[in-house]
Amino acid sequence: MKTYFVTFRSVTFAQRGESVLKKSGVNCVLQRTPRWMEAQGCGYCLRLSVKDAVQAVNVLRQKQVPMRKIYLQAEDGDIQEVQL
Protein backbone atom coordinates (compact mmCIF):
# COMPACT_ATOMS: atom_id res chain seq x y z
CA MET A 1 0.00 0.00 0.00
CA LYS A 2 1.37 3.40 -0.96
CA THR A 3 1.87 5.81 1.95
CA TYR A 4 2.82 9.46 2.22
CA PHE A 5 5.00 10.94 4.94
CA VAL A 6 5.25 14.63 5.78
CA THR A 7 8.31 15.56 7.84
CA PHE A 8 8.77 18.62 10.03
CA ARG A 9 11.66 20.50 11.58
CA SER A 10 10.38 19.90 15.11
CA VAL A 11 8.10 17.66 17.08
CA THR A 12 5.95 20.70 17.93
CA PHE A 13 5.34 21.49 14.26
CA ALA A 14 4.50 17.82 13.68
CA GLN A 15 2.06 17.95 16.58
CA ARG A 16 0.50 21.16 15.34
CA GLY A 17 0.16 19.48 11.96
CA GLU A 18 -1.58 16.52 13.57
CA SER A 19 -3.86 18.85 15.53
CA VAL A 20 -4.97 20.96 12.55
CA LEU A 21 -5.51 17.88 10.37
CA LYS A 22 -7.66 16.17 13.00
CA LYS A 23 -9.68 19.36 13.49
CA SER A 24 -10.20 19.42 9.71
CA GLY A 25 -11.33 15.78 9.70
CA VAL A 26 -8.23 14.49 7.92
CA ASN A 27 -6.77 11.20 9.18
CA CYS A 28 -3.08 11.06 9.99
CA VAL A 29 -0.69 9.28 12.33
CA LEU A 30 2.08 11.06 14.23
CA GLN A 31 5.17 8.88 14.40
CA ARG A 32 8.94 8.93 14.55
CA THR A 33 10.61 9.74 11.26
CA PRO A 34 12.36 6.59 9.97
CA ARG A 35 16.11 7.04 10.09
CA TRP A 36 16.46 6.04 6.42
CA MET A 37 14.07 8.81 5.44
CA GLU A 38 15.91 11.70 7.02
CA ALA A 39 19.34 11.62 8.54
CA GLN A 40 19.02 14.58 10.91
CA GLY A 41 18.01 12.24 13.69
CA CYS A 42 15.19 12.26 16.22
CA GLY A 43 12.38 13.71 14.14
CA TYR A 44 8.66 13.17 13.93
CA CYS A 45 6.47 12.97 10.86
CA LEU A 46 2.85 12.48 9.86
CA ARG A 47 1.87 9.32 8.00
CA LEU A 48 -0.96 9.81 5.50
CA SER A 49 -2.93 7.55 3.19
CA VAL A 50 -2.94 8.26 -0.54
CA LYS A 51 -6.54 9.40 -0.46
CA ASP A 52 -5.86 11.98 2.32
CA ALA A 53 -2.44 13.26 1.27
CA VAL A 54 -3.36 16.12 -1.08
CA GLN A 55 -6.04 17.47 1.21
CA ALA A 56 -3.72 17.14 4.20
CA VAL A 57 -0.93 19.10 2.56
CA ASN A 58 -3.38 21.80 1.49
CA VAL A 59 -4.68 22.13 5.06
CA LEU A 60 -1.12 22.30 6.44
CA ARG A 61 -0.23 25.04 3.97
CA GLN A 62 -3.44 26.92 4.68
CA LYS A 63 -2.82 26.76 8.45
CA GLN A 64 0.82 27.78 7.91
CA VAL A 65 2.34 24.73 9.54
CA PRO A 66 5.90 24.65 8.20
CA MET A 67 6.61 21.32 6.48
CA ARG A 68 10.07 20.03 5.70
CA LYS A 69 9.60 17.41 3.03
CA ILE A 70 6.96 15.10 1.61
CA TYR A 71 7.82 11.49 0.77
CA LEU A 72 5.92 8.78 -1.04
CA GLN A 73 6.64 5.20 -0.09
CA ALA A 74 5.74 2.74 -2.84
CA GLU A 75 4.31 -0.71 -2.23
CA ASP A 76 7.71 -2.28 -2.77
CA GLY A 77 9.18 -0.04 -0.05
CA ASP A 78 10.97 2.39 -2.37
CA ILE A 79 10.74 5.95 -1.16
CA GLN A 80 11.06 9.22 -3.03
CA GLU A 81 10.62 12.87 -2.21
CA VAL A 82 7.59 14.34 -3.97
CA GLN A 83 5.82 17.66 -4.39
CA LEU A 84 2.09 17.88 -3.77
Partner 1 sequence: MIYLDNGATSFHKPAAVKKAVMDAMDRCANPGRGGYAAAMEAARQVYRCRELAGELFDCRPEQVVLTSNCTHGLNIGIRTLVRPGSKVVISGFEHNAVTRPLHAMNANITVAGRRLFDPEDTLVAFEKALRGGADAAVFTHVSNVFGYILPVREISRLCRRYGVPFIIDAAQSAGSQSVKLDDLGADFIAMPGHKGLLGPQGTGLLLCGRGIEPLLYGGTGNQSIFQQMPEDLPERGEAGTMNVPGIAGLSAGVRYLLESGVETIGRKESEQAKRCAKGLEKLGFQVFSGRNQGGTVSFVPKVDCESAAEFLAKMGIAVRAGLHCAPLAHESAGTLETGTVRVSFGYDAACWQTDKFLAAAGKLQNKTEKNKISYCYPRGNPL
Chain residues in the site for partner 1 (CB under 8 A): 9-13, 15-16, 19, 30-32, 39-44
Q: In angstroms, what is the minimal distance from the CB of 64 to partner 1?
A: 9
Nearest-angstrom CA–CA distance, 21 and 23: 5
Alpha carbons within 13 angstroms on the beta-carbon side of residue 83 total 0
Q: In angstroms, what is the minimal distance from the CB of 82 to partner 1?
A: 23
Of the pair 44, 76, the CB lying nearest partner 1 is at 44
Q: In angstroms, what is the minimal distance from the CB of 76 to partner 1?
A: 24
Max CA pair span of the chain? 33
